[in-house]
Structure 1
């Protein structure tokens, strides 16, 4: 009974993160399932896929109703990610559990740093926009983000953005290249690489991949942050479903009771998290998320390497 209550409570928190940011469900679910709920590592990655899939399905309608899902770009991105998802799922089952958790912890550190950089850049953009519109600094720090009129979340990606690796990248039109003439665009290799990597990480670690999809949709396709967050949920649904199908026939067992209880709490959190994204500043949410990831990374590496 206590384990079930813990699964519901933690799942609720994970779902709020997914609904608010369009990212982070699996990356939090895996260490929670392993260290708090005592699930074997490989089973936890499979259970995480189920949890992320359910949560993303519940969170997606809210973003779609508000026009924040780019269906065409999302479906193409997700389609490319399928190959990586299949390869990652099959390879994951062959890697020893301690090695898998260590790699997962290292990935958490990298994502936490990338999220921190994004939070700081977004905060600078918010302040610059507030100054440009004549908003006093005191009010800018206190006022919540407007639901339908936020200059930072709703503006298209800038012409040049510094990516997580420090490289300055130029934006083209927000659509994926679809004609032979457009295939020479430097964005196409970037989109293919990002989608394949997203699929691989989804299959290998059991994560949704939103932490990669969101910045890639902004950098490569020039989507506004709010639309990138909503579209990432569509990509999650397809990538996680593919990864689950790819694990059929492997020696991985799922504790359906704990998984579904966790998923139920996460789904409720996803419903609550969607509206939350319209009430809190994106820089604040991203900053808190980066700190949370850093703490989870520290616990994961300490438990794996020292425990």
Structure 2
């Protein structure tokens, strides 16, 4: 009974993180399943895929209603990630549990550092914008922004403001040059999507922790839009990774997994509205802090204890 209650409570917390950040479910679920609920590492990676899949499905409608999901680019990105997800899932079963968890912790630490740097830059830009007077802003040359760099067209949720700038739900995008930006290199998008799928399948996580920065870097999406789109990618990547695990020796504790998933799905519904109230830089800072904390705990538990 205590174990079930713990699974529900932690599941709700994980779901809130997924709903608010569009990421984080798997990176929390795997350590919790291993270190708190006593699951073997390979079973935990498979169970976390089920948890993240259910949570992402529960969180996606909120972001879709607020038009924070780039369906076209998200589905293309997810489709390319399928190959990597299948390869990663099959390879994961061949790696010893301790090595798997060590690589998991090291990867999270690297992503946490990268996202922290991005958050600090975004916070500095927000502060500059806050201290810019209306008169100074009026003298600046209006520039066009594009929310869909692949097609060089404004996204459906971009609106024109009085000063000639386009904004994302009232929040100005970072200014770009007046000419439409060049489309990202196809090779970069393919590489990013394949890597995302591989990491999802190999570590058994939803992939949101890597999908969000990849969507920001490869497709140039705003943080909030990348968070919503990542849920779509997570649904496809986790479902593919689960199918790829069919026929392996990995066993799933369905009772604990489904209880955890139910709590996570409820938390995901609660977490969605939180993202609309926070600054993009705050979301990124929370994301990086979460990754750093989980990385530290995982590496200490695996290498020291």
| TM-score where L is the length of structure 1 | 0.84
SS at match of 2:190: helix
In structure 1, how many angstroms separate the alpha carbons of the residues matched to 2:2 and 2:282? 32
1:171–1:221 CA contact under 8 A, matched in 2: no
In structure 2, how many angstroms separate the alpha carbons of the residues matched to 1:105 and 1:202? 14
In structure 1, how many angstroms separate the alpha carbons of the residues matched to 2:175 and 2:68? 14
1:157–1:223 CA contact under 8 A, matched in 2: no
Q: How many residues in Structure 1 have an aligned counterpart in Structure 2?
A: 272
User: 2:62 maps to which residue?
Assistant: 62
What pairs with 1:21-40 in structure 2 (closer than 5 Å)? 21-40=21-40
User: Offset of 1:78 from its aligned partner?
Assistant: 0.4
User: 1:5 maps to which residue?
Assistant: 5
1:41 aligns with 2:41: yes
2:7–2:260 CA contact under 8 A, matched in 1: yes
User: 2:130 maps to which residue?
Assistant: 130
SS at match of 1:279: coil
> Structure 1's 171 and 2: CA in aligned 2 closer, same or farther, altered over 3 A?
farther
1:49–1:240 CA contact under 8 A, matched in 2: yes
What pairs with 1:142-291 in structure 2 (closer than 5 Å)? 148-151=169-172, 155=173, 158=176, 171-173=181-183, 187-291=185-289
User: Offset of 1:92 from its aligned partner?
Assistant: 0.4
> Structure 1's 97 and 129: CA in aligned 2 closer, same or farther, altered over 3 A?
same
User: Offset of 1:157 from its aligned partner?
Assistant: 8.0
Q: What's the Cα RMSD here?
A: 2.1
> Structure 1's 290 and 18: CA in aligned 2 closer, same or farther, altered over 3 A?
same
In structure 1, how many angstroms separate the alpha carbons of the residues matched to 2:100 and 2:185? 32
SS at match of 2:250: coil
In structure 2, how many angstroms separate the alpha carbons of the residues matched to 1:224 and 1:108? 22
Q: Deviations over 1:221-278 (max 9, x none)?
A: 2222222111111000000000000000000011111111111111111111110001
User: Offset of 1:188 from its aligned partner?
Assistant: 0.7
Q: Deviations over 1:96-145 (max 9, x none)?
A: 101101111111111211221122122112212222365xxxxxxxxxxx
1:55–1:267 CA contact under 8 A, matched in 2: yes
In structure 2, how many angstroms separate the alpha carbons of the residues matched to 1:171 and 1:42? 43
User: Offset of 1:158 from its aligned partner?
Assistant: 4.8
User: Offset of 1:294 from its aligned partner?
Assistant: 1.7
1:147–1:278 CA contact under 8 A, matched in 2: no
SS at match of 1:132: coil
1:72 aligns with 2:72: yes
Moved more, 267-276 or 277-286: 277-286
What pairs with 1:89-128 in structure 2 (closer than 5 Å)? 89-128=89-128
Q: Deviations over 1:184-207 (max 9, x none)?
A: xx5211100000000000000011
In structure 2, how many angstroms separate the alpha carbons of the residues matched to 1:125 and 1:156? 9
> Structure 1's 291 and 228: CA in aligned 2 closer, same or farther, altered over 3 A?
closer
- What stretches of structure 1 of length at least 5 have no aligned partner? 135-145, 160-169, 174-185
In structure 1, how many angstroms separate the alpha carbons of the residues matched to 2:3 and 2:175? 44
> Structure 1's 58 and 301: CA in aligned 2 closer, same or farther, altered over 3 A?
same
4+ aligned runs moved over 4 Å, structure 1? 156-159
User: Offset of 1:90 from its aligned partner?
Assistant: 0.3
